[in-house]
Structure formats: C-alpha cells, structure tokens
Structure 1
Amino acid sequence: MAILEIVKNPSPLLTQKCKEVKVFDEKLCKLLDDMYETMVAADGVGIAAPQVGELLRVAIVDLGEGDDVIEMVNPVVTAIGGSEIDIEGCLSFPGLYGEVERPYFVRVEAQERDGSLYELEAEDYEARAILHEIDHLDGVLFDSKIRRIVDPSELEPAEDEEEGGEMI
C-alpha cells in the first residue's frame, strides 16, 4: 500500500463527475487499499477517488468506531430522509470547516471491490460522511453547501484527538 497525494482545492479534478467503474481487478483493489492508507494517514473519516487524482466512482468511509470500513464502488443514493446541520471538514480543504445541512438518513446501493452488489443504510454522522463522499464523485464540493464557516477554535476536540475536528 502507498500513501497518495491528496488533491487540494481549487484543482479542477475535484469538480468533475467521475466515471463508473467497469473493471473489478487488482488495480481497483490497489486503489482502494491506497485510498484507505491515505485517509488514515491524513486523519480523515472518508475519501473519494478524485481526492487522489482518479476520476472513478470509488469512495471509502471509516468512522473508526469498530465498524467495518465502507468501500463504495459505483454508489447510488436510493433514499434519503430527515435533515440535520452539523460541522464538516474535508481533506481537500485543509483548515476549512463549516456547518452543512444534509439528510439524517441515507440508503445506498453500491458494489464491493469484487463487483458484488450490496445495499447500505446509515444515519447521523455515518450518513453525512457517505453523502459527502458521494458528492465528491459528482464533482460537488462541501464548500458550496456551507451555511456558516466555523473557526477551528470553535471545534471541540474529540476524546482521542488533541486538537481540531475530523475531516471527511
């Protein structure tokens, strides 16, 4: 596995719609492994392929709470519900945090790294992270959804963090 360079705003790669994955091979597995390694090294909870320079519909979410890592290939949102406003950050926007309104619930159909189909339902912060990453695959950036910019000094450190908030 390798730690990849994270593409930062204002790169035009971040605003392009990604292509559907059609080939499920070792190259895709390596991309997923490298994306995970990159996300962990950057202290993120999610990452999408365009954030590492690949315009493919591939994203990962890992809240690190003992849950399994969510690998989404060709994800499609099939249902949403509710609404909540919470603070988000993004690995492609270092130091930028903002209040973003997103659905509280999401249902997604996606494929595993081997191409098999699955359905996933998520709520609260997990749903937020999933939707944030799927937005990346559509070229939609979180800064376009910010209602209010949040100063990093307003963030409460998580119990296992010394400073700042998590970045999606």
Structure 2
Amino acid sequence: MAVREILRFGNVKLKRVSRKIDIIDEEVFNIVQDLKDTLYSTTGIGLAAPQIGILKRVILIDLRDGEEPIVLINPLIVAKIGKEESIEGCLSYPGYEGKVIRPKKVTVQGLNTKGEKVEYIAEGVLAKAFCHEIDHLDGILYIDRAKKIYKIEE
C-alpha cells in the first residue's frame, strides 16, 4: 500500500495505548501492508502500528533471517522467564541505543491475519523484539525502560 512516516520520539501518539482489534477486515490488511512496506524501507526488524500513527494493536517482526515475518494482532505476553540486559534501538528514536533489561524467554499469544489464535515461544532477539513492539502498543518506548541511552557515533 504505502511507506508511511515513522513517528519520532516526542509525538504524543507514541505514548498512547492502542485499541484492540475486534474484526479483521480490509482496514487491518491495509495496516499490515503499510507496516511491511514501511519496515522494509528501513533496516529495522520490527514495527508497531502506533509508530506509523495508527493506534491499533498490530505488530510486525521480521528478523530478516529467511523466516516468514510475524504479524500479530492483539498480541499479549502470557509468560516471561529470566532477565537479560542487551542493547536496543528504535526506528522512532533514531541515532540512539540503550541498555534495556528484558525477559530471556517469552510466550506470546495473538491472532494471525486469518483470525486464528497463534502462540510463539521466543528467546534471544525474537523475545526482545516481541517485548519492544508490544510495549509500543501500550505507549511505552524502550527509552522508558533503558538504564542508559547512548548516541550512536557515525
């Protein structure tokens, strides 16, 4: 559909809680396509609908590892195991990275674009991506959780 502008830190929409999706219809398919078009115009691995100005509970994650991208509607973290510190960045806060503590392993449930309930058990980068993108749906940026923020040197 379209490459959308990615909202930047300071935009009030990034701090709002997104609405649950009750019906998977053409509007939702268009949101998913815009998320894909926008993400693939960057080097990022995840994008949430609020980042393109849509306050609906949809995320896209593509680790760019040859696997199919993950699209989740109304995602929810239902279990967390352990803790791990790592460096994160965000397309909505370009030029910076931060040290963030995230769960080592998560179980995430949601709906796919067919309306089917799906579940992922993830660790490593995928677990962090789920946490990061789901946080966006709740108006939380990684910088809200970061222990330290660093400017990325060119």
TM-score range relative to shorter protein: over 0.9
Q: What is the aligned partner in structure 1 of residue 125 from structure 2?
A: 125
Q: Shift of residue 114 of structure 1?
A: 2.0
Q: Determine the C-alpha separation between the residues in 2 that align with 1:17 and 1:95.
A: 25
Q: Determine the C-alpha separation between the residues in 2 that align with 1:115 and 1:92.
A: 28
Paired residues for 1:145-156 under 5 Å: 145-153=145-153
Q: Shift of residue 136 of structure 1?
A: 0.3
Q: Percent identity of the aligned residues?
A: 38
Q: What is the aligned partner in structure 2 of residue 41 from structure 1?
A: 41
Q: Determine the C-alpha separation between the residues in 2 that align with 1:82 and 1:102.
A: 8
1:35-83 Cα shifts (integer Å, max 9, x gaps): 0110110211000000000000000110001122110100111101011
Instruction: Give unmatched runs, 5+ long, in structure 2.
Output: none
Instruction: Give unmatched runs, 5+ long, in structure 1.
Output: 154-163
- Three-state SS of the structure 2 residue aligned to 1:28 is helix
Q: What is the aligned partner in structure 1 of residue 108 from structure 2?
A: 108
Moved >3 Å (runs of 4+): none
Q: Shift of residue 138 of structure 1?
A: 0.6
- Three-state SS of the structure 1 residue aligned to 2:147 is strand
TM-score normalized by the length of structure 2: 0.96
TM-score normalized by the length of structure 1: 0.88
Q: Shift of residue 11 of structure 1?
A: 0.6
